[in-house]
């Protein structure tokens, strides 16, 4: 007797649940007019939810086209946004960006070892591949990182290291210094 009662209660709960979910009595799905959907339920779209790139805050990364920096957007998620955005920069342009002649002057294979932010100064420690860039490529490679890290507003200037040792990097005119670099040092290659 109790098992029949439990079965009846379970059936009633399931029927109520289905009715509450909006399943029509016909068993066929129906299209609902978007104006009848409560605010906020239509966004984000299912495609955005399924795509990891759609998560997080949009942040600017800087690549190169025609010997100048160009802005691209990436979505950063996580507790260490500065390090994550540098890793995205080091991954290089997407296929779509490359098809638009967007490149990176950061040497291929460059890895982020560590990134520390003290006050508004970031110290970025990179693998030895970063040191292989030369001439104008090195200026643009440094500018890419400076512009990317300062795009969030939390970082004002960037100091560079390779393997834990602070290095000299060129400013926009090619002058070397180991002091932190800011956007003002690369005004001649800034995005138009």
Mean pLDDT of 16-43: 49
20 shares its domain with 88: no
Q: Are residues 41 and 92 in the same domain?
A: no
Q: Are residues 160 and 111 part of one domain? A: yes
Number of domains in the chain: 2
Q: Are residues 103 and 168 in the same domain?
A: yes
Dump pLDDT digits (tens) for 116-167. Answer: 999 999 999 999 999 888 777 899 999 999 999 999 888 999 999 999 999 9
pLDDT at 177: 95
3-state secondary structure of 124: strand
Question: What was the pLDDT predicted at 88?
Answer: 94
Are residue 24 and residue 94 in the same domain, yes or no? no
| Residues 22 and 101 placed together within one structural domain of the fold | no
Examine the domain organization and report whether 102 and 26 are in the same domain. no
0.85 exceeded by the pTM?
A: no
Confidence of residue 42 (pLDDT cuts 50, 70, 90): very low
* pLDDT at position 76 over 80: yes
Residue 5: C-alpha distances to residues 12, 15, 16 (Å): 11, 15, 16
Query: Looking at residues 173-180, what average pLDDT do you find?
Result: 94
What is the extent of the structural domain holding 79? 53-189
More confident residue, 13 or 113: 113
One domain for residues 25 and 57: no
67 to 70, 90, 103, 105: CA distances (angstroms)? 9, 18, 10, 9
Q: Are residues 149 and 88 in the same domain?
A: yes
Co-location of 38 and 120 in the same domain: no
Residue 57 has what DSSP assignment? E
Do 24 and 89 reside in the same domain of the chain?
no
pLDDT attached to residue 154: 87
Phi first, then psi: what are they for 15, rounded to 5°?
A: -65, -45
């Amino acid at each position: 007797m109790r098992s029949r009662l439990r079965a009846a209660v379970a059936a009633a709960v399931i029927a109520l649940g289905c009715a509450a979910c909006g399943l029509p009595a016909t068993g066929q799905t129906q299209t609902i007019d978007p104006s009848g959907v409560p605010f906020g339920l239509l966004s984000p779209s299912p495609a955005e939810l399924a795509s990891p790139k759609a998560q997080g805050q949009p942040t600017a990364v800087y690549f190169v086209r025609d010997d100048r920096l160009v802005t691209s957007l990436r979505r950063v998620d996580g507790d260490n946004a500065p390090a994550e955005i540098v890793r995205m920069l080091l991954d290089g342009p997407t296929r779509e960006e490359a098809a638009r002649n967007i490149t990176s002057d950061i040497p291929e294979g460059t890895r982020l070892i560590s990134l520390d932010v003290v006050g508004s100064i970031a110290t970025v420690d990179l693998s030895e591949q970063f040191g292989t860039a030369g001439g104008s490529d090195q200026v643009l490679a440094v500018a890419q990182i400076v512009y990317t890290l300062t795009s969030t507003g939390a970082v004002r200037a960037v100091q560079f290291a390779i393997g834990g040792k602070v290095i000299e990097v060129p400013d926009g005119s090619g002058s070397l210094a180991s002091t932190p670099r800011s956007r003002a040092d690369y005004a001649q290659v800034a995005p138009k």
